[in-house]
Chains A and B, each alone.
Chain A
Amino acid sequence: MSIHRTCRHPVVAALALAMAAACADAPTRPDARPPAADPPPAPLVAGPGARVLTPAESAIHATAAAWAAGGNRTLQDFLATDALWSESARSAFAAASGGPSAVPAPPIPPSGAAETGVPPTVPITPETFPRAYIVASSTQAFTNGAAGAVTSIVTYYGVRAHTDVTYSSNDDRGQVVNPKTIVSNEGYSEGAIGCLSNTTASCTFLGSLVTPIANINFGRSCGVTLSASAHHRAWFQLPIPLVDQILTRWHWYLLEWGWNTGDDQVANASNGPCPTEVVTQPVCGTQLIYDATTCDDGGGDNPALLGAADPQCTLWLIQIEQSYDGGRTWYVVDSWIEQRC
């Protein structure tokens, strides 16, 4: 399977041209659907009943004809019956001085099934349209002290992709630190957008969608494990310009097909183990042992050190107890001996 697949198939060229109409003014817009008021390329009207097709429209019709010659009338049927694309509708449109007279087709749902009586009459399947797929994907978790981050990357063949990243974190006692959270992201394939400016160039339709999640706050700098996974979807999309009969405004209906998915398994990252947790107080009930001969904390003082001490000196054991989570949990992080003479 080649990652850099070129779009030699006619539908790919048609898609590029159609994409150009849809995206040229805002190719990086997160929301795929252009606003209803955005006009597509203005039809070139040469005279009553006549109309010059845009290059994109010509390519779409050429593709439809090529497919029909091969026995697949999916696209041709759609163009023939659609209010905007059919020649009869065009004539009516051009002849009408007050606006379009044809009834626009309703949007085609993502499932590919047409609504009441409108094209496509042939089911959209991987056999009739190219199918998108996930080329590669990766989701990684990172920790840095009391903060965490997740980065998810998916490379896909298609026009659009969607990523849902799921992350959560627990502490070393199994308690939830950050509850399960889903972050979604969506984008166009750069490859498809790259086709917009030069329709003669080969189009890869290879996209990469990066979903970064930063500043996940643990509230503590040890003992936390961050877990992250992701679900990716990729698909093809063809914006179809239509005219609202009543409002006489341009609308975009999105023909979508060829969904495919991929999953990234759970990736974990830890900010490291915590020191020994304070479970019980020393036997002496004190962290400072000023007379090791009369008070034993049970921790096993160093006999050599104590034996070598000057009898006139006093030894203290200092246990340093620290918290990394705002005082919820305390740990003995270090022990020091203070000697005074």
Chain B
Amino acid sequence: MRMHGNTLVIGALVAAGALGAPAAGAQQQPAPPPGRVAVIVAVADQPLFGQGTVILRRGGALGPSVIVMSREAATPEHLAAAAATLAAILERDGDAGAGEGLFRIADSVVGPAAELVAARHALAGVNSASIDTVPGVGAARTARIYLPDRTARADLRARGKLTLQRRPQ
């Protein structure tokens, strides 16, 4: 898999053209392209768990992980931050996940500038999508993005483009 420029984390969604993919609750889910992990971006009218942006970590039979954003919090900066955080979670727990988990992105957090363009495109796709029912979330507009999987992250690491490592204590 090739990724160009600095758009390394969620930039893949542009190449994949995955905007407007079937809803999270649909029975038929498209298989992610090789080297990628599918993630659902959902924009709901109301904050979930009282947070503007949360990550519902899922996997396996539960379906892809979901980045849930309230309408007010649905900015490219927050989506980029959520994607970067989820990438670190994937690196920590593995792409398949270690069970369900609830994570948040504080409202004051902004993501990497390099991801903002892709994040903006992703949100544009979300806003143009129809309203679907997302399990555990409710009614929301959704789109599908992709993050680099373990193999792709290793490739990025080998090429000196991107590394994720646990912060020394």
Contacts and interface: CB of A to CB of B under 8 A. Distances in A.
B108 A318 contact: no
B32 interface: no
Interface stretch (B13-21, B22-30, B83-91): B83-91
B102 A322 contact: yes
Interface of A: 281, 285-288, 290, 302, 305, 314, 316-318, 320-324, 326-327, 330, 334-341
Interface string B128-169: 000000000000000000000000000000001111111110
B54 A335 contact: no
Contacts of A317: 167
Interface string B97-111: 000011111101111
Contacts of A335: 166-167
B92 A320 contact: yes
26 contacts: A281-B108, A285-B108, A286-B108, A287-B85, A288-B84, A314-B114, A316-B84, A316-B112, A318-B85, A320-B89, A321-B104, A322-B102, A324-B102, A326-B49, A327-B51, A330-B104, A334-B92, A335-B166, A336-B91, A337-B165, A338-B87, A338-B88, A338-B112, A338-B162, A338-B163, A338-B164
Contacts of B166: 334-337
A224 B109 CA distance: 30
A336 B88 contact: yes
B8 interface: yes
B103 A321 contact: yes
Contacts of B91: 336
B60 interface: no
A326 B102 CA distance: 8
Interface of B: 6, 8, 48-51, 54, 81, 84-85, 87-89, 91-92, 101-106, 108-114, 160-168
Nearest to B49: A327
Contacts of A320: 85, 88-89, 92, 103
Contacts of B105: 287, 321
Given A320-B88, A336-B88, A341-B160, 9 more contacts: A286-B106, A286-B108, A288-B112, A322-B101, A322-B103, A327-B48, A327-B104, A336-B92, A340-B162
B110 A286 contact: yes
Contact of A288 (B49, B51, B110): B110
B59 to A, nearest CB: 16
A341 B160 CA distance: 7
Contact of A302 (B102, B162, B168): B168
Contact of A290 (B113, B162, B165): B113
A188 B92 CA distance: 54
Nearest to B159: A341
Contact of A336 (B54, B103, B167): B167
A327 B102 CA distance: 8
Contacts of B6: 340
A324 B106 CA distance: 16
A118 B6 CA distance: 97
B107 to A, nearest CB: 9
Contacts of B8: 340
A340 B161 contact: yes
A288 B112 CA distance: 8
A159 to B, nearest CB: 49
Nearest to B108: A285
A302 B168 CA distance: 7
Contacts of B54: 327
Contact of B167 (A288, A327, A330, A337): A337
A341 B103 contact: no
Contacts of B51: 327
Contacts of A336: 88, 91-92, 164-167
Given A288-B112, A336-B166, A341 B161 contact: yes
Contact of B164 (A281, A314, A326, A337): A337
Residue in B88, B161, B165, B166 with the greatest tally of chain A CB atoms within 10 Å: B88
Contacts of A305: 168
A324 to B, nearest CB: 8
B160 to A, nearest CB: 5
Nearest to B91: A336
Contacts of B85: 287, 318, 320
